[in-house]
Structure 1
Amino acid sequence: MMQALLQSLIAAELPVLAAHDVTMWGYVVLGALEDQAVRTQNALAEAIGADKTRIIGTLDRLQAAGLITREPDPRDRRARVLAITERGRAVREAVRARIQSNENRLLARLSPADRAGLLNALRTLSELPREEITGAGRP
């Protein structure tokens, strides 16, 4: 059930992302930088569960579009410090608003109690450490 729902939700988000010229990974990066204004590329990759070499293209596109900045880390010139720009915040907010509007439309099909229960369950599960979800480290 979750797989089919997730695929449908992604299909609903893709046109929203395309309208703002952002990929799904680009949106994830903008969200991570919004939550914590400055990160190195390595820390960002770890936080979003991406391979650090594979997000470079995404970062290049976001920087070229003026959505993020990448500056040398004063503590380690080999590293880059990332920050979201005002334009990046505006794009993220516009995308998030459209996505949330669709989610609210779907959640309106549930009774208030079911909606509250679903959101509570999702919140609880999303706050679990990645290792707990993946079962990493278990025999």
Structure 2
Amino acid sequence: MIEAEAPNLPDDGAPRTPDRLRRRASRLLSQLTTRSDRLINEGLARVDARKWHYAVLASLQDLGPGSQAALSGRTGIYRSDLVGVLNELAERDLVERTPDPRDQRRNVITISPSGRRQLRRLDRVLDVLHDELLAPLTPAEREQFVQLLTRLLDHHSQPS
């Protein structure tokens, strides 16, 4: 009787990830996204915030007031979901809704002074979380990594 070879296991008995999977950028990005989302969501939850809160506040601060449709386009939040996010932010006095003087059927959303303060707090929280996420990289590598990701996203965001 011939004995079967034992599977190639590391010393700890855990199966190794095949090299062909470790070389697939799509798989690596997917796994990193999962870990990044968990880290960011949990970190923001500790300060009673969500990533969509940050996205809306950052958009209003950096690009100015906008309609719900404009904010949806700027942030990538579906319009139906954006209503709930705006309600949460308005209840916390972080944004203000005022009727659009050119079209009374829609509102213009503006960041409030409290919203600006909250955005600065969230920037500090996200800085710490990003340091944790990117811990193995040097500052130069972090900058290069973000530049490369931005280039990829810009390329794939262009209409075909």
| TM-score (ref. length: structure 2) | 0.72
CA positional deviation for 1:80: 0.4
Distance 2:142 2:73 in 1: 32
Distance in 1 (CA, whole Å) between partners of 2:140 and 2:69 is 41
Is residue 61 from structure 1 mapped to residue 84 from structure 2 by the alignment?
Answer: no
CA RMSD of aligned residues (A): 2.1
Q: Which residue of structure 2 aligns with residue 81 of structure 1?
A: 108
The answer to whether residue 37 in structure 2 is matched with residue 10 in structure 1 is yes
Gaps of 5+ in 2: 1-27
Deviation at residue 113 of structure 1 after TM alignment: 4.9
Secondary structure (helix, strand or coil) at the match of 2:81 reads: coil
Aligned equivalents of 1:110 and 1:66: distance in 2?
Answer: 38
Instruction: Give the direction of change, closer, same or farther, for the CA distance of 1:87–1:8 in structure 2 (3 Å limit).
Output: same
Who is 1:133 aligned against?
156
Counterparts of 1:108 and 1:40 in 2: how far apart (Å)? 38
Runs of at least 5 residues in structure 1 that lack an aligned partner in the other structure:
none
Contact 2:93 2:114 in 1 (8 A): yes
TM-score by length of 1: 0.81
Cα distance, 1:112 vs. partner?
5.2
